[in-house]
Structure 1
Amino acid sequence: MMSSPVAFSHSTLRVPVRLVSAMCAPYALRRGQGERLPQALPYALLQAWQDVPAGVAKPYTGLARALRQAFRVGPPQQSHARVLRASSCAQLPIRFMKKGFYTIIAAQFISSLADNALLIAAIALLSVIRSAAWVTPLLQIFFTISYVLLAPFVGAFADALQKRHVMFISNALKASGCMMMIAGVHPMIAYGVVGFGAAAYSPAKYGILTELLPAEKLVKANAWLESATVLSTIVGTMVGGALISTFADRFVAHAHLPLIRSSADLAMFAVMLTYAIAAAINVFIPDTGARYPNRLSEPTRLVGDFYHCFNVLWADKLAQIALWVTTLMWGGAVTLQLLVLKWANVNLGLSLSKAAVMQGVTGLGIAVGAAAAAALIPLRRSLRVLPVGIVTGAVAIAMAFYNKNLFPADAGIHVGSYGVPLYIVLAYPLMILLGGLSGFFIVPMNAILQHRGATLLSAGHSIAVQNFNQNLAVLLMLGAYALLLTAKMPAQWIIVVFGVFITFMMWLAKRRSATNERTANMHVLLEE
């Protein structure tokens, strides 16, 4: 994995640590620690050029010469060699990774793309069967409950089998959930089956990297994995929107396909096939040879270990702040994900297919914000971004009052017969800003949690506790959202309620951090 993060679907909303350190590490090294990627990459590309057969390379020698002249590249300076090796930026990834690694990346991209398209398709299916508005958040609740209930056990399950087999089973379960929806099973129940598969998939996809690659290659490996996830999130939400568009409705009306009664069914069928493709790719992942004891036979011990790790993280004065704000941001993000779709429909008059584009745009903002944080905020200064969390809540409140009535009806950009209303044009930078602030905030906070978790426990135990807390917050906030919808509260004021809550809790976290700094040297804890 979510994995994440105002506009990501739940299973890929994992904008936490793994997105941060992983996705952003290739793009920028820490300030003052060596050459940046733009200086090292051209040299790496030209070094790799030497491996290309002469007959293949001949048509492109002019391009290689132009690259060499444009960047004036030579070997990176010796003084920077250690830093470049440590960050894995001085070598071209295709020479760097084992063959099976790219199979994992392909499977993750396709599975994550399906995850994001599925949410849009499932919401469309609820509209087809005329479900009440409060049922929509229950979709995510049924999806998330597996993450919470199975938190102490999914790691042991991933270790009990070969992880490629766990990933295959998980994608097969997701495909089965889609088939259930097509067959007429209520989307909430079927989406719960998908959530069960997603909960098992997350530890397997990260754990297999540690089995396949040595430790010094894991940063680059996670960068590939999370970059693929971010790209698939943006593409998946837009594909999901396209699959339920009016064009898709017309196609279904004329095609007369069995079991396909609407564009929502067509979208669900396409998502099911996508999961099946991902499962098929999982089969071709090589056996890493890693085998572990089957700990599933000791469920009581697993729960006890998890409880101990839970208490250790919350007792640490630094980890508790990071866990507090990432849990809060995660719960708010998944809830706001649904609220963005509702807001785009009510305030901007957009259909679900067009509102999905807003999610993709927000995902772009998250990626930009995460990259900026990785480049500008070193670990020792991570706590300085706490005010950004407060600003993020304030921007969410402002978003609630943004609507098409603020602009003249004919204002917009017109090219011939095609035109885009001004309120749509300006909504995009607003969503990019919201996503950018979220990404910029979550990256350093997750870096703190990753660092303290690995110091106090282990990376795996820390991630398990983090996932449990975040998904528990999702359940609680989605439950509150469903209650507010049942009470007929307008979407605008629901956003205000959540925005005020997030802003207030972020302010409390900042106060708590200041209190902790008076009793513990936070900078020393960051450097342990």
Structure 2
Amino acid sequence: MNAVVLTQFLSAFADNLNFFLIVGIVKRQGVSNPDGTVAFIQMAFLCAYVFLAPIVGAFADRNAKSRVLLLGNILKAIGIALLLFGLPPVLCYLFVGVGAVVYSPGKYGILSELTRTEDELLRANAKVEGSTILAILLGTVAGGFLAQNSDLPAILTCLGVYLVSLFMTLLVPSRAGNASLRYGSEARAFFRDCGRLFRNPRSRFSLIGTGSFWLTASVLRIALIAWLPVNLGITDTDQQSMIIGVTALGVVASSFVTPRWVPAGRLHRAFYFGLAMVLTVMVATLIHSLWLTVTLLFFTGLFGGIFVIPLNTMLQEEGKRMIGSGKTIAVQNFVENALTVTGLAIYMTLTELHVSVNGSVIGIGLVLLMFIMFLATQLGKIRASKTGGGEATDVR
């Protein structure tokens, strides 16, 4: 289990480091529209999730999970290594995306194999999620510093971390998967599972809510790189990464207050924190003070976390009962990344139309607001929904 936790920490660290590596490369290339280029590269990464979602779950179940983790890290390392040969960043990042989508179901699936009781599984999930949050923070800051002046140190560091993570997977027990699974039938079942989850009011509410959150978060991460020089005059990649990392601190803080502010049985309250997230995003476009910006970004992460954590819980409860936990995660990944690609396409279109970065951020905020307003229309259906012959949950 410690090998799994360390493997995940290193892989997540490198995943976040390589984003700012790509940003640094694009800036030094002197392209005419760096913001749009970064958005396009991010879309290539996410498209791997969208197109491979119907089969990666079956691939993880058909093979030993430790070998799935190994392959995922190999593909990520290849993607970064290709940068050394001068290949286009979009092609390299696509390889990293394929590695990430292969790695994801193996990471979650192996935990149930290495634990014996529900309590052990809960503790294992807590370790993995805690290490992932720490890796996101450290990887974001390290990526900004390493990518500031030269590509080579960041490339070599990122490649080295992936290789260490790769070798750590060799310490994870290898247990045979279910070789009888067939990719064609599993892919057809995936789309049936999507339909089942969207027909259920609670799981539909959760999928749309979490998808809109990640749409906003992914676009804001790119938009902030253009917004910080315009509004605050901050152009150094290392400083930008530290400021953006404050949002992740807000998400960390949300994990402590969510159980109290959005208790079990009242998960629909997350909706109001989604509205608060929209407000902080909108207000941030009007601010020209560094400390006010940092404060607003912290609260954006805080409100975003309180919005998405209860929705994840709601989806896991419904999904486990309807189609199983693993399949639910596959559907959720598909929906979240499909919406995120759509959001990035909207942002790219706005930049191509020469809309100001403040206008683009407001535009994404309005997209999130439309999703939130749709969720408002679903609250009554959730109150009326039944699960297993009784109330799904008390949402009074």
Q: TM-score per shorter chain, which class?
A: over 0.9
Q: 1:369, 1:473 → 2: CA distance? A: 23
Deviation string 1:85-115 (CA, Å, 9 cap, x unpaired) is: xxxxxxxxxxxxxxxx001111111111000
Cα drift, residue 167 of structure 1? 0.9
Larger deviation: 372-381 or 453-462? 372-381
Contact 1:147 1:468 in 2 (8 A): yes
Cα drift, residue 208 of structure 1? 0.7
The answer for the alignment partner of 1:280 in structure 2 is 167
Aligned to 2:385, which of 505, 520, 524? 520
The structure number with the bigger radius of gyration is 1
Secondary structure at the aligned position of 1:318 is classed as helix
The answer for the alignment partner of 2:111 in structure 1 is 209
Contact 1:390 1:504 in 2 (8 A): no
Q: 2:311, 2:229 → 1: CA distance? A: 33
Runs (4+) off by over 6 Å: none
- Residues 1:345 and 2:229 aligned together: yes
Q: 2:163, 2:183 → 1: CA distance? A: 31
Cα drift, residue 375 of structure 1? 4.2
The answer for the alignment partner of 2:67 in structure 1 is 165
Q: What amino acid does structure 2 have at the position aligned with 1:304?
A: R
- Residues 1:478 and 2:354 aligned together: no
The answer for the alignment partner of 2:50 in structure 1 is 148
Deviation string 1:427-470 (CA, Å, 9 cap, x unpaired) is: 22221111000011111111101101011110011111111100
- Residues 1:311 and 2:195 aligned together: yes
The answer for the alignment partner of 1:107 in structure 2 is 7
Contact 1:122 1:268 in 2 (8 A): no
Contact 1:452 1:526 in 2 (8 A): no
Cα drift, residue 516 of structure 1? 4.7
Q: 2:311, 2:302 → 1: CA distance? A: 15
The answer for the alignment partner of 1:291 in structure 2 is 177
Contact 1:345 1:355 in 2 (8 A): no
Contact 1:370 1:442 in 2 (8 A): no
1:337-376 → structure 2 map (5 Å cutoff): 337-350=221-234, 351-376=236-261
- Residues 1:130 and 2:30 aligned together: yes
Distance 1:141 1:294, change over 3 A: farther
Secondary structure at the aligned position of 1:293 is classed as coil
Q: 2:381, 2:266 → 1: CA distance? A: 17
Cα drift, residue 215 of structure 1? 3.2
The answer for the alignment partner of 1:91 in structure 2 is none
The answer for the alignment partner of 1:451 in structure 2 is 317
Aligned to 2:136, which of 206, 227, 233? 233
Aligned to 1:330, which of 177, 202, 214? 214
Q: What amino acid does structure 1 have at the position aligned with 2:177?
A: R
Q: 1:372, 1:393 → 2: CA distance? A: 19
Deviation string 1:102-138 (CA, Å, 9 cap, x unpaired) is: 0111111111100001000011111122222311101
Aligned to 2:290, which of 387, 409, 424? 424
Aligned to 1:381, which of 249, 266, 276? 266
Q: 2:259, 2:72 → 1: CA distance? A: 32
The answer for the alignment partner of 1:194 in structure 2 is 96
Structure 2, unmatched stretches of 5+, are none
Cα drift, residue 376 of structure 1? 3.9
Cα drift, residue 521 of structure 1? 5.0
Deviation string 1:482-504 (CA, Å, 9 cap, x unpaired) is: 11111111111100111122123
Deviation string 1:223-268 (CA, Å, 9 cap, x unpaired) is: 00000000010000000111123xxx3xxxxxxxxxxxxx123212
Q: What amino acid does structure 1 have at the position aligned with 2:368?
A: I
The answer for the alignment partner of 1:118 in structure 2 is 18
Q: What amino acid does structure 1 have at the position aligned with 2:241?
A: A
Secondary structure at the aligned position of 1:150 is classed as helix
Q: What amino acid does structure 1 have at the position aligned with 2:233?
A: G
Q: 1:345, 1:160 → 2: CA distance? A: 48
Q: What amino acid does structure 1 have at the position aligned with 2:157?
A: A
The answer for the alignment partner of 2:275 in structure 1 is 390
The answer for the alignment partner of 1:505 in structure 2 is 371
Cα drift, residue 290 of structure 1? 4.3
Q: What amino acid does structure 2 have at the position aligned with 1:210?
A: S
Q: 1:505, 1:475 → 2: CA distance? A: 15
Cα drift, residue 508 of structure 1? 2.0
Q: What amino acid does structure 2 have at the position aligned with 1:468?
A: F
Secondary structure at the aligned position of 2:265 is classed as helix
Secondary structure at the aligned position of 1:152 is classed as helix
The answer for the alignment partner of 1:467 in structure 2 is 333
Counting helix residues as a fraction of each chain, which structure ranks higher?
2
Structure 1, unmatched stretches of 5+, are 1-100, 250-262, 404-422
Aligned-residue CA RMSD in angstroms? 1.6
Q: What amino acid does structure 1 have at the position aligned with 2:116?
A: P
Aligned to 2:303, which of 437, 447, 452? 437
Q: 1:233, 1:309 → 2: CA distance? A: 31
Deviation string 1:325-371 (CA, Å, 9 cap, x unpaired) is: 11111111111111122212221111222111012111010110122
Q: 1:160, 1:504 → 2: CA distance? A: 40
Q: What amino acid does structure 1 have at the position aligned with 2:191?
A: Y
Contact 1:448 1:526 in 2 (8 A): no
Q: If the length of structure 1 is used for normalisation, what is the TM-score?
A: 0.71
Cα drift, residue 472 of structure 1? 0.3
Larger deviation: 363-372 or 299-308? 299-308
Secondary structure at the aligned position of 1:526 is classed as coil
Deviation string 1:397-419 (CA, Å, 9 cap, x unpaired) is: 1111112xxxxxxxxxxxxxxxx
Q: What amino acid does structure 2 have at the position aligned with 1:395?
A: T
Cα drift, residue 526 of structure 1? 3.0
Cα drift, residue 384 of structure 1? 1.6
Q: 2:169, 2:183 → 1: CA distance? A: 28
Contact 1:379 1:447 in 2 (8 A): no
Q: What amino acid does structure 2 have at the position aligned with 1:333?
A: A
Q: What amino acid does structure 2 have at the position aligned with 1:119?
A: F
Cα drift, residue 211 of structure 1? 0.7
Larger deviation: 374-383 or 278-287? 374-383
Q: 1:126, 1:284 → 2: CA distance? A: 37
Q: What amino acid does structure 2 have at the position aligned with 1:425?
A: W
